[in-house]
Structure 1
Amino acid sequence: MKSLSFFNRILVLLAALLIIPSYFTPLWQISLWAPQYPEGLNMKIWIDHLSGNVDQINGVNHYIGMRHIGNEMFPEFSFLIYVIGALVAVGVLAFLIGKRWSLYAFFGLITLFGLAVLADMYRWGYQYGHNLDPKAAIKVEGMSYQPPLIGYKELLNFLAYSGPDTGSWIIMGGVGLLILAIVRDRFEKPALVKNPYTSK
């Protein structure tokens, strides 16, 4: 199996190390704007907790029958720190192995992780926006309040935004380094080995 060049191995190592900031930076954010909240309400999702205007958002959502948002809503907080740690370990191992298959394995795992996170965010948003209290003060027939997975969406008189935050952008930068390593590996020519019996 083909070995990676030294430069590509460094790219793999950097990609692995760029996952570490996700322990110290928010991974996702959800924001709301309305005439009564022109400055906006913002909730940040970290690796193991929520922060931001969570109480104010809960106060607004209570009137339309949405569930109370809290750390207990996210069982992922109990194991995500270990999943992230495993990804870092796999990346460092891929650097140490230095083979093409290790690069592709690391890229495949981190891609699957990203897709799983998006699917989980969509599942949470769907349940949160559709499972409403029938006794809510404000009810609009046929209306659901599922926040957007990525981008903007109008919900009654609110404009909602959902998207990656600092930690996720850093991880995506690492994925970009892996893609660069894959492209370089594909187009790099193997080093020519001189025959000691024919070379002068």
Structure 2
Amino acid sequence: MVFTLSKMKKLSLINRILILFSALLIIPAFFTPLWQINLWAPQYPEGLSMKIWIDRLSGNVDQINGVNHYIGMKYISNEMFPEFTYLVYVVGALVALGVIAFLIGRRWSLYGFLGLMSLFGIAVLVDMYLWGYDYGHHLDPKAAIKVEGMSYQPPLIGYKELLNFLAYSGPDIGSWLLIGGVVLLLAAIVNDRLSNRSQSPSPYK
């Protein structure tokens, strides 16, 4: 009963505003790239870059396909990512749920919205890993260049050497803003707990 009442406690105005700002930080994900994959090699000292948006790819996709063709990797295109057909609705739902959490203004709505944001982030990382694994391991056996036992799975986050290429994969502007939104929610939780502790009566009075 005490746990239930604690979760039903009304949040302070500043914590509700933090929830709202967190939800609003999701909106730029519609207009900014979420992820980036960069490649460098002696023949490409300026680098090749592919940007992954909420509904499309951009960057040096054609050049990357040209290079990857020789080692038997699949052709990269928008059609390769079925997520592009529904991700816009998922992100839109997150924005709406964040605004609803702000309007409800209860402790459970704060924790619930943080949970949804965290699940979304985990789901994106898992999806990216699975795509990278499939892309890097299932190669055309008739490829012009074959290296026995070699796979070309790009890194999920960070750098990795692939033959004579150095590959980098990591969050782009949209994802950094989403991470910023999660940080705001964590700040709201910390602030709520500190406020609740300061308002608790001292047992030594």
SS in 2 for 1:189: helix
Larger helix fraction of residues: 2
State the SS of the aligned residue for 2:47: strand
In the TM superposition, residue 60 of structure 1 has moved relative to its aligned partner by 0.1
Q: Distance in 2 between matches of 1:30 and 1:191?
A: 47
* Local SS of the residue matching 1:133: coil
Q: Which TM-score applies when normalising by structure 1?
A: 0.95
Unaligned runs of 5+ in 1: 193-200
- Over the matched positions of the two proteins, sequence identity in percent amounts to 77
TM-score normalised per structure 2:
0.92
| 1:187 Cα deviation from its structure 2 partner | 1.2
Q: How far is the alpha carbon of 1:189 from its aligned partner?
A: 3.2
| Secondary structure in structure 1 of the residue aligned to 2:184 | helix
Match status 1:7 vs 2:24: no
Could you tell me which residue of structure 1 aligns to residue 55 of structure 2?
48
How has the CA–CA distance of structure 1 residues 72 and 31 changed in structure 2, closer, same or farther, with 3 Å as cutoff?
A: same
2:178 and 2:107 map into 1 onto residues whose CA distance is 21
AA aligned to 2:109 is: S
1:186: which partner in 2?
A: 193
Secondary structure of the structure 1 residue equivalent to 2:84: helix
Gaps of 5+ in 2: 1-7, 200-205
Provide the rounded CA distance (Å) in 1 between the counterparts of 2:157 and 2:198.
Answer: 44
Partner SS, residue 196 of structure 2: coil
For residue 127 of structure 2, the aligned residue among 120, 133, 151 is: 120
Q: What is the aligned partner in structure 2 of residue 132 from structure 1?
A: 139
Superposed CA RMSD:
1.0
Q: CA deviation at 1:186?
A: 1.0
Following superposition, which runs of at least 4 residues in structure 1 exceed 6 angstroms of deviation? none
User: Of the candidates 62, 69, 86, which is equivalent to residue 62 of structure 1?
Assistant: 69
CA–CA separation in structure 2 for the residues paired with 1:159 and 1:191: 52
How far is the alpha carbon of 1:190 from its aligned partner? 7.5
How many angstroms apart in 1 are the aligned matches of 2:196 and 2:140?
A: 63
* Partner SS for 2:167: strand
Displacement of 1:38? 0.2
Tell me the CA shift for residue 191 of structure 1.
8.9
Cα shift at 1:181: 0.2
